[in-house]
Amino acid sequence: MESKFGMTVEEASRYTSIGRNTLRALVDAGKLPVLRIGRKNIIRTEILIKFLDLNEGVDLLNMDEVKTVKR
């Protein structure tokens, strides 16, 4: 994938192989910050990479274990 400033949830899902519903749940829980543009959520690429690094080895379906990314 080309280097982009940010991705939609669908693009981030394809990029990471994390399901769209899981990513949306992480966004809704405030674990993964997004830029909101109307109804669209944009995940900054650098924030997504930081989130993945921070939560390596964590079950992303267990919200209590998932660490929140700070900007």
Is 60 within the bounds of a domain? no
Query: Does a structural domain hold residue 67?
Result: no
Residue 62 within a domain: no
Where residue 70 falls among pLDDT bands split at 50, 70, 90? confident
Domain that holds residue 18: 6-54
pLDDT in tens, 38-54: 999 999 999 999 999 99
Using the predicted structure, report yes or no on whether residue 22 has a pLDDT greater than 70: yes
* Residue 68 maps to a domain: no
On whether residue 59 sits in a domain, the answer given is: no
Number of domains in the chain: 1
> Is 47 inside any structural domain?
yes
Provide, rounded to the nearest whole percent, the portion of the chain with pLDDT above 90: 90
Using CA atoms, how far apart are residues 28 and 25, in angstroms rounded to an integer?
5
Residues contacting residue 55 through CB under 8 Å, at least 6 positions apart: 66, 67
pTM of the model: 0.88
pLDDT of residue 4: 79
